[in-house]
A and B are shown apart, each in its own frame.
Chain A
Amino acid sequence: MNQLLQCNTLKKKYSQSSILKGVTFSLGKGEHFTVVGPSGCGKTTLLRCLAGLESIDGGDIILNGKSLAKVKPEDRSVVLMFQDALLFPHLTVFENVTYGLKRIKTSKKDRIRQAEEMLEKVKLTKWKNAYPHELSGGQKQRVSLARALVLKPDLLLLDEPFSSLDATLRESLRGEVKELLKQENISSLFITHDRDEAIEMADRLAVMNNGEFIQMGLPYDVVTKPSCLESAMIIGEGLALDEGFIPLHELILVKQNETIEPNFISIPGKITAVTVKNNHPYYRVSWDKGTVLVPSINHLHQGEKANIKADRRAIRKYLQNEEHRRKVQ
């Protein structure tokens, strides 16, 4: 895969407080890269720096072999999609979609053709003369996506664009967006704090914490083999212990009085909620370092005390921090 973007030790400070502490990564042409991390870890700042809406205090951003450090946002082939659709309320759907094309002086004929094609792709042709206030939340985000994609940017930045939508809509839109990005062959950098969304949208996944990437890799590897405790707590699907990580499929919830075999570990907890996942009951168990969703063969109830049980051999040791950090950067 040809390299599109290279970020070298990107640094950003706000009043002496470091928000980005030397972020380094690269992105291939047509690749979909996702960054997941808790609120305030620097994800949005990273996107804003890439879009040119914030200056950088150190490092460099190279797009297609050229440094973007001193390039204005309007001159970068990078479009940012925000959490809210942010459609211009006084313009129709069609005018919103053609807005960027007009700015880059595309001829009227081409503007109309390209916008109509894009509206067709996002299934909003019949809404082209509607105003934003006449659309639903999902439709607004589709228009916002169409407005960004019609420009055919080298890089599309998505800042938790589905966070304001309901769960069902979010799930359906995720698939549609990824499909559309593939069709248009547009590289994307997607940030989210939603684990499912991160995994689904990513070709490659990075976990961000406290202004730096702490793990990067294929979504399955990152989720099942977190490299450190922080990563395990942010993205790992399973139990994050100090000594290592136990994937979810190795965990089972048992009654409090059930005998635990010697080669198994047992962590006491309390069931705070019962839910259904893949047609099976799952229990949200609160233990002294957090909560975890675990299946059980027993029929248990909310409020009941129980033990999370796992084979000791299932514990996956974390990588040494320094060694791993060098590898990530």
Chain B
Amino acid sequence: MNGQIGLLKNKWKAGLYLLPAVMVIFLLVGYGMWSAVAQSFQTIDGSWTTNSYLTLFRNQLFLDSIILTIRVTTIATILALAIGLVMTRLLYQFFKDSSSKLLVWIPILIPHFVAGYLVFLFLSQSGLLSSFLSHLGVIENRADFPVLVQDQFGLGIILTYVWKEVPFVILMLLPVYYEIDHRYSEVVRTLGGSRWDSFKTVEWPWLLPVLVETGVILFAFIASAFEVPYLLGVTRPEMLPVRAYEWFFNGDWSKRPLAFSAMIVPGVVALLLSISLIGAIQKHRLRMVKGRVR
């Protein structure tokens, strides 16, 4: 009985301690979210309607933006995950030494906007690399340098996010590599499996849940980030957050519901994606955790 009262007291105590944080999240983020959702379903004079969503999906600017956003986000996420995985696989022994880890962490410390600017400085047609190549005589003049930033494909944006997010992927995967029981790889080899079989059977099942979660985080982040696409994108088509920004600030006030709905759509998609993917891998993860030897 005393134990139960103690537990109850502890719960209340914990609740009390968490209250300030919960209030801040609930009031600021929660209110902001609610306000955005509400405004996306309202006309400028405050009456409720689904018009902004119907208009949105008939709007060519939005459709072009969403295609670009999905393409850039998917490519950047997959490349960051793949490069991060390969680098972790090759270097996790080396990264055990904490000073060597600093090399990888440097891009994490640089703000996204600065990273975008660095990509611009190095890879634009008037940038350092094109100047260097033209000095060397590899290209006749700077205009011969391929358009890598502020291009319609979004290559500059992709490059920036890949450079910025690879260290994040490494940060997520390193603990997994340290946790893997590498005796399983020896089991695979003595059962006739190759090194590739060992990766597939031993490492991949542990990496998969973390890769899925990291992928969802990266996808949601890149799809909704503003500064890099604003700096490195072209005027048309633009990434969705830039399109929403323009509707919010540059158009008349009647476009504001469109701006909100343009951001809520990918938000909802990201939410549904995370719920379904994380739900799907949870069973696999539990099986792995329960079945491991140590």
Contact = CB atoms under 8 A, between A and B. Distances in A.
B190 A78 contact: yes
The 6 closest A-B pairs by CB, nearest first: A89-B291, A133-B290, A100-B191, A103-B192, A133-B291, A73-B189
Interface string B161-193: 000000000000000000001011011111111
Contact of B284 (A73, A78, A84, A90): A90
A88 B184 CA distance: 8
B194 interface: yes
B288 A90 contact: yes
Given A80-B186, A88-B184, A99 B287 contact: no
A103 B190 CA distance: 11
A131 B191 contact: no
B190 A131 contact: no
Given A104-B192, A131-B291, 15 more contacts: A51-B190, A73-B186, A74-B192, A78-B190, A79-B190, A79-B191, A80-B187, A82-B183, A84-B294, A87-B291, A89-B287, A89-B290, A99-B193, A133-B287, A133-B291
Interface in A61-99: 72-74, 76, 78-80, 82, 84-90, 99
B184 A86 contact: yes
28 contacts: A53-B190, A72-B189, A73-B190, A74-B194, A76-B190, A79-B191, A80-B190, A84-B293, A86-B187, A88-B184, A90-B284, A90-B288, A90-B291, A99-B191, A99-B201, A100-B193, A103-B188, A103-B192, A103-B193, A103-B194, A103-B197, A104-B192, A131-B290, A132-B291, A133-B287, A133-B290, A147-B191, A151-B191
Contacts of B291: 87-90, 131-133
A22 interface: no
Interface of A: 51-53, 72-74, 76, 78-80, 82, 84-90, 99-100, 103-104, 131-133, 147-148, 151
B292 interface: yes
B205 interface: yes
B124 to A, nearest CB: 47
Interface string B187-215: 11111111001000110010000000000
A151 B192 contact: yes
A132 B289 CA distance: 11
Contacts of B192: 74, 100, 103-104, 151
B184 to A, nearest CB: 6
Query: Max chain B CB contacts within 10 Å: which of A72, A133, A151?
Result: A133
Contacts of A84: 183, 293-294
Query: Max chain B CB contacts within 10 Å: which of A51, A74, A80, A147?
Result: A74
Contacts of B294: 84
Contact of B189 (A74, A148, A151): A74
Contacts of A104: 192
B292 to A, nearest CB: 6
Given A86-B184, A88-B184, A88-B201, A74 B193 contact: yes
Given A89-B288, A89-B291, A52 B184 contact: no
Contacts of B183: 82, 84, 86
Contacts of B197: 103
Contacts of A79: 190-191
Contacts of A89: 205, 287-288, 290-292
A153 to B, nearest CB: 9
A85 B184 CA distance: 10
Contacts of B187: 80, 82, 86, 88
A52 B189 contact: yes
Nearest to B190: A80
A88 B186 CA distance: 12
Query: Max chain B CB contacts within 10 Å: which of A72, A73, A104, A147?
Result: A73
B156 to A, nearest CB: 40
B284 A86 contact: no
A53 B194 CA distance: 13
Nearest to B286: A133
Nearest to B285: A90
A48 B187 CA distance: 11
Contact of B293 (A51, A53, A85): A85
A70 B122 CA distance: 49
A148 B188 CA distance: 11
